[in-house]
Structures are given as structure tokens and as C-alpha cells.
């Protein structure tokens, strides 16, 4: 716990999911001096994981803590006065063909919290929850369940609305501020210095820099618990007529393969992705022998930063064509490496830095934080105020000892691979074979 009061000068580094939600909840509790700094000159940051056309909103988790928190988040998303049409409740279809312990427990947890779940044990039953106009590929062994209490959120819109809420409560959001130093006296930080020379005095610093956490603060040794991994995403542009055939589809989520695909958005774009170990790009930190995984994005490398490995693109094509043959036969019109921040056990990192008294970490979303945007900052605020239950303090503790999969079984298929630039896709690879 950090000693805080209404006049505490709070500086949050990062205006993404964790940073904005934390700032919002602190301001709602009466803290008056909250400043959020972000490296990007444009907000929402073009290359942030939370800047996206769609993110899954679900309660289907093998860890019932996330199931229950997911239900709270969904209830909040439904408050249209707060979020407008950011959330789209189309349901989430979870494939259980090739079922494992994660899927079985996620299903049971949804039942436990009384989610609106429909078990689908045959291909015909599955077909009946998709629109008849959609061309759906199913094997004879296909089975799964539909959780109607879920769907997807227009992520960029959610971030923008939360930025507006923070500003309305008196919070300061300052873009174009890349932090270069946490000025320390003994074991306390007195100010945050940026590369442009500006200095922001602080009584409490909250590091919520997402995938840039470890590389931005190499002296804090965060790479092991805040590992930046690039996850592969591809997009298909449909005509308005094609899009209408799939508009009413639920989100399709295959925990076993990690593949998922959304219904078309308002611009008739279909997004598909694979949740896996991802890819790392180890960069040598200046004046050291330390290599830290660092995002390669549209901001650092222009449009070239959007390319994904050719093998990953092939896997996306294969899965998309298997589920939606008509869509899978069309060209991809774009790709993206979406950079996650991963802990080793897929639980978030929320808590006081073990060595610096007034530095807090709120990061390592592990690819499943955005859906909790309305409520995740409450956990951080509780942790700061010493109100977080002991079991959650332990669950999210920075530098915690853990045994991978002990609490939240991972749905990742393999460890992260090294990003090899010579193996990235070309425009020709976006065309169907």
C-alpha cells in the first residue's frame, strides 16, 4: 500500500486500457491531481493494443475470478449513457471440439454464474445459432457452446470515451511525452522526466506502459513479468452485400487452436487473429548487455511494422477458410502485429514495485484486459489504497513466484518465437492461393 490522499500528485505513464481506467477510478474517488502521460503524439496511440476495431468481451474463463469480473464488465458496457454503442452483444461461440481442461472449466464457470449459455453438441445445433445466410464450415465432430452474454467492443471508441471521462473529471492527459527517467532519491521517485526535457513532479507513479513497460524502464528488470509479444491479426474487406450475410454471427472463438474471428463491423471489415505465444523482438538496451523484447509497430517502422510472419498469415488463412469458406477465399487487405504484454502465468501485474516505495505497476494485460476496461482501474485503485483482498494481492503481485498454469490454465499453444524480418509476409502473400 502507498500512503495517498486527495492531494497526492499522481503521474500515470501510459494512456491505454490500464492507465486510463486507473486514472478514471482514482478521479472518481476524489483524487484531484492525476496526470496521464503517453509517448504517442496522437491519442489513442495508433499502435497500442487497445487501439483496434474490435476486442472480444466474454466471461468464459477457466479462472472464476475473471468469469465474475467479466460479468461485472459486461454489465458496465451495457450502460449506453456511459459507453454509447461501443459494446455489441452478439454472443460468443466457443468451440469445444478437441476440448481440454481450460474449455471445460470455462464452460462450468459460465454455468456457475448463471450466464445465458446454450450447449451445442452437434453441427446442426451449431448451425442453428448462426444466420442462415452465412456460409459456415463445420466438421462432423463439431460441438461447442454459445454464451449469449458477450460479444465484442469497438476498442478505439471505448478508449476515446474513457479519455473524455477522465478529462471531464479534471484529469490531465498529455500526449507526446516519452518518459526517459524516473528521478529517484533513495527508494522514492520524486519526478518523471521526459525526453523533451519536461519534468513532472510526483508523489505516486503508476507505470501502465503496456508492451513498452520493460523496454522503457530497463533498469527495473521487468522483461520477465512484462514480456512484449506480437500477436498476429489479419483483415478482410467485404462488400456491403457480403457483410450483411455475416452481420448477425456471434464471435467465433476456438480456445483449442487460439483462432478467433469477429462478425463484420460497420465498415464491413472482418478481423481474425490467433491468440498464441506470439513473437518477440529482442533489442539491445543502450550502454548495456541487456536485450529486451520491444514492439515493432506502424509507429516505429511505418507500414512495414504491420507485416506479420508468413507462416502465421497462412495459419490465419487456413482457419478462416475452414470456418467461413466464402470469406476465407477473399484477399486479406491488411495485417497487424498486435503487441501484448505477457506475464508468465497470464495474470495481470498490479501492485507496488518491490524496491521503489512509490512506484506502482499496472500492466501485463496478457491479451485479455481490454474487455475489463470499465472496471479494471478499480482493482488498481483498490491495490493503491490497500483495499485489494489478500488473494488478489498475491495473484497480481509484481515479481511473484508462480508455477505456470497453476491458477489460470493458459490457452497459448507454444512459447513465443523470435520475429525474423526475412520471414514477414509480402503484399503477394495476402492473396488467396
In a domain? residue 326: yes
- Kindly list the distances between the CA atom of residue 210 and the CA atoms of 47, 260, 412, in Å, as whole numbers in the listed order: 11, 22, 19
In a domain? residue 401: no
- pLDDT-based confidence at residue 244 (cuts at 50, 70, 90): very high
In a domain? residue 431: no
Find out whether 398 and 360 touch, Cβ atoms under 8 Å.
Answer: no
Whole-angstrom Cα distance, residue 88 to residue 153?
6
Question: Which has more confidence, 410 or 275?
Answer: 275
- Kindly list the distances between the CA atom of residue 151 and the CA atoms of 55, 233, 271, in Å, as whole numbers in the listed order: 9, 18, 14
- Helix %, strand %, coil % for the chain, to 5? 30, 25, 45
* 388, pLDDT greater than 80: yes
pLDDT of residue 343: 95
* 28, pLDDT greater than 50: yes
Tens digit of pLDDT for each residue in 318-349? 999 999 999 999 999 999 999 999 999 999 99
Whole-angstrom Cα distance, residue 318 to residue 312?
10
* 409, pLDDT greater than 50: no
Lowest mean pLDDT among 55-64, 159-168, 369-378, 397-406: 397-406
* Backbone torsion region of residue 164, taken as left when φ is above 0, otherwise alpha when ψ lies between -120 and 50, otherwise beta: alpha
At 191, which CATH number? 3.50.50.60
| CB neighbour burial string for 242-264, b if at least 16 within 10 angstroms, e if fewer | bbebbbbbbbbbbbbbbbbbbbb
- Kindly list the distances between the CA atom of residue 144 and the CA atoms of 91, 275, 405, in Å, as whole numbers in the listed order: 13, 18, 23
Number of domains in the chain: 1
pLDDT of residue 243: 98
- pLDDT-based confidence at residue 289 (cuts at 50, 70, 90): confident
pLDDT of residue 31: 96
pLDDT of residue 288: 79
Task: Tell me whether the omega of the peptide bond preceding residue 44 falls within 30 degrees of 0, making it cis.
Answer: yes
Cα 246 versus chain centre, distance? 25
* 176, pLDDT greater than 80: yes
In a domain? residue 428: no
User: Among 76, 74, 79, which residue's Cα sits nearest to residue 59?
Assistant: 74
Of all residues in the chain, the percent with pLDDT exceeding 70 is: 96
* 421, pLDDT greater than 50: yes
- Kindly list the distances between the CA atom of residue 6 and the CA atoms of 33, 41, 166, 309, 356, in Å, as whole numbers in the listed order: 8, 29, 16, 48, 22
In a domain? residue 341: yes
Tens digit of pLDDT for each residue in 247-274? 999 999 998 889 999 999 999 999 999 9
Whole-angstrom Cα distance, residue 21 to residue 17?
6
**CB under 8 A, 24+ apart: contacts of 180-183:** 182/217, 182/356, 182/359
In a domain? residue 32: yes
- Residue range of the domain that includes 33: 9-396
Average pLDDT in the 294-304 region?
A: 97
Q: At what angle do helices 17-28 and 376-384 cross, to 10 degrees?
A: 60
Whole-angstrom Cα distance, residue 148 to residue 250?
8
Pairing of strands 282-284, 291-293: antiparallel
149 sits in which H/E element: none
Tens digit of pLDDT for each residue in 205-216? 999 999 999 999
In a domain? residue 64: yes
pLDDT of residue 415: 86
Whole-angstrom Cα distance, residue 140 to residue 254?
16
* 166, pLDDT greater than 90: yes
In a domain? residue 129: yes
Amino acid at each position: 500500500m502507498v500512503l495517498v490522499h486527495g492531494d497526492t500528485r499522481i503521474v500515470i505513464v501510459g494512456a491505454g486500457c490500464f492507465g486510463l481506467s486507473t486514472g478514471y477510478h482514482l478521479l472518481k474517488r476524489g483524487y484531484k491531481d492525476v496526470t496521464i502521460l503517453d509517448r504517442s503524439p496522437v491519442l489513442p496511440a495508433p499502435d497500442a493494443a487497445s487501439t483496434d476495431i474490435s476486442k472480444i468481451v466474454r466471461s468464459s474463463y477457466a479462472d472464476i475470478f475473471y468469469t465474475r469480473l467479466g460479468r461485472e464488465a459486461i454489465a458496465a458496457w451495457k450502460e449506453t449513457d456511459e459507453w454509447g454503442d461501443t459494446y455489441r452483444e452478439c454472443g460468443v461461440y466457443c468451440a469445444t471440439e478437441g476440448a481440454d481442461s481450460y474449455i471445460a472449466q470455462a464452460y462450468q464457470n459460465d454455468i456457475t454464474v448463471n450466464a445465458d449459455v446454450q450447449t451445442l453438441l452437434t453441427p446442426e445445433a451449431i448451425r442453428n445459432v448462426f444466420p442462415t445466410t452465412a456460409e459456415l464450415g463445420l466438421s462432423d465432430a463439431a460441438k461447442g457452446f454459445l454464451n449469449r452474454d458477450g460479444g465484442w467492443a469497438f476498442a478505439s471508441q471505448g478508449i476515446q470515451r474513457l479519455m473524455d471521462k477522465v478529462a471531464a473529471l479534471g484529469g490531465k492527459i498529455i500526449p507526446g511525452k516519452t518518459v526517459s527517467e524516473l528521478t529517484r532519491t533513495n527508494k522514492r521517485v520524486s519526478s518523471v522526466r521526459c525526453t523533451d526535457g519536461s519534468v513532472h513532479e510526483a508523489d505516486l507513479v503508476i507505470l501502465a506502459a503496456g508492451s513498452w513497460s520493460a523496454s522503457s524502464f530497463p533498469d527495473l528488470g521487468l522483461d520477465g513479468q512484462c514480456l512484449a509479444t506480437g500477436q498476429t491479426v489479419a483483415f478482410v474487406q467485404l462488400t456491403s452485400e457480403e457483410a450483411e450475410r455475416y452481420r448477425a454471427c456471434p464471435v467465433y472463438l476456438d480456445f483449442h487452436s487460439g483462432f478467433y474471428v469477429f462478425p463484420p463491423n460497420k465498415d464491413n471489415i472482418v478481423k481474425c487473429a490467433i491468440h498464441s505465444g506470439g513473437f518477440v523482438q529482442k533489442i539491445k538496451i543502450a550502454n548495456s548487455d541487456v536485450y529486451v523484447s520491444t514492439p515493432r509497430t506502424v509507429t516505429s517502422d511505418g507500414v512495414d511494422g504491420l507485416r506479420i510472419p508468413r507462416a502465421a498469415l497462412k495459419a490465419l488463412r487456413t482457419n478462416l477458410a475452414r470456418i467461413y469458406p466464402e470469406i476465407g477465399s477473399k484477399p486479406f487487405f491488411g495485417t497487424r502485429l498486435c503487441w501484448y504484454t505477457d506475464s508468465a502465468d497470464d495474470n495481470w501485474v498490479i501492485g507496488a514495485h518491490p524496491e521503489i516505495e512509490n512506484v506502482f505497476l499496472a500492466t501485463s494485460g496478457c491479451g485479455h484486459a481490454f474487455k475489463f476496461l470499465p472496471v479494471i482501474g478499480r482493482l488498481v485503485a483498490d491495490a493503491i489504497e490497500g483495499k485489494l483482498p489478500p488473494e488478489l494481492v498475491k495473484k497480481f503481485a509484481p515479481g511473484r513466484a508462480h508455477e505456470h498454469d497453476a491458477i489460470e490454465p493458459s490457452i497459448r499453444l507454444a512459447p513465443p518465437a523470435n520475429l525474423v524480418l526475412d520471414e514477414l509476409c509480402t503484399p503477394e502473400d495476402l492473396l488467396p492461393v
